[in-house]
Amino acid sequence: MRVVVIGGTGHIGTFLVPRLTAAGHEVVVVSRGARQPYRSIGGWEKVEIVELDRAAEEPSGTFGDRVAALRPEAVIDLICFTEDSSAMLAEALRGKVRHLLHCGTIWVHGPSTQVPTTEDSPRRPIGSYGIAKAAIEASLLSEARAGGLPATVIHPGHITGPGWAPINPAGHLDVDVFQRLADGDELVLPHLGMETVQHVHADDVAGLFMAALGNPAAAIGESFHAVAPHALTLRGYAEAVAGWFGQEARLEFLPWQEWTRTVDAKAAEITWSHLTHSPNCSMEKADRLLGFRPAYSALGAIADAVGALIESGQLNAKMTSR
């Protein structure tokens, strides 16, 4: 098929675009600039790159029409964050494509109730990001199930891979947390460290998009989680990372308000979002309907990212095991 990927040079696109070209698809990547993918895997020489700034085009209502003019049979939208943005693209593609695949987020669920959380669990999103993504999902799937625009929604967890820092065992993005664990230094965690995070390797997210694209009969009108098979507690995560460097984790715990004084405001904000969600989502549906199972465990995905941090010099350590 002729597949247009919107935002194809980011985390997911770095792995998805080579998969698409390897499968024989004709690929057009829509990007607002000439940014390179995080890792050169091959196949990019076959890709048509179209520079198109979504934020600049949408106020005039032209973005969706510009995408439709590329004559896609399928569109994979990796960077849609508002209902208006989704509706504009849907209007332009209605009746013109065989499949629209939208990248959502497990944040549509809000805080976990019964775990593992399944895709049919009631939506209780918190925060503007999760609320907007839940509204987009509801609109796209409602129309798809009514026989309108054929759409699928993929909900990734904490996307992880080489080229960027993963969410760390303290629930934020500071690489120093990994350095402290590698050096055997004390690490202070909020509460008792029993809240959860659920990473997913970007290549596994790409793999699930491929599985949905290749099985439209099962995928259209459905949403699917894209997460590692198991969530991690912050405490268990920290202990595992320390072990990679031959260390035993030296952990201390503080109540939330006290802990926030140990980090900057941005880190505290990111951690709070992860603690209040504490995701633990199921991959059973993707396995049952699409035959897809993630290749990476959560720790395996994180280890790949941490190894890249060491290679790039952002982390001064040597992994003895992983």
Which pLDDT value is given to residue 113? 87
CATH number 3.90.25 given to 165-198+232-279+297-311: yes
How many residues in the chain?
322
The answer to whether 183 touches 282, Cβ cutoff 8 Å, is no
Give me the pLDDT at residue 321, please: 80
pLDDT tops 80 at residue 182: yes
Q: What are 45-104's pLDDT values in tens digits?
A: 899 999 999 999 999 999 999 999 999 999 999 999 999 999 999 999 999 999 999 999
pLDDT at 32 over 90: no
Give the torsion through C-alpha atoms of 276, 279, 280, 281, to 10 deg: 140
Question: What integer pLDDT is reported at residue 322 of this predicted model?
Answer: 77
- Across 187-214, average pLDDT: 98
Cβ atoms of residues 208 and 224 within 8 Å: yes
The lowest-confidence range among 52-56, 185-189, 295-299 is 52-56
**CA angle (25, 160, 38) in 5-degree steps:** 55
- Let me know: does 117 contact 105? Beta carbons within 8 Å: no
Angstrom distance (rounded) from CA 289 to CA 297: 21
Res. 42 pLDDT band, cuts 50 70 90? confident
Domain ranges in the chain are 2-159+199-226, 165-198+232-279+297-311
Task: Just give the CATH number of 2-159+199-226.
Answer: 3.40.50.720
Burial of residue 10, with CB atoms counted within 10 A of its CB: 0-12 exposed, 13-18 middle, 19 or more buried: buried
Question: How much is the average pLDDT of 133-157?
Answer: 98
Question: Span 144-152, mean pLDDT?
Answer: 98
**CA–CA separation, 44 and 117 (whole Å):** 36
pLDDT at position 33 over 80: no
Averaged pLDDT, 294-301: 98
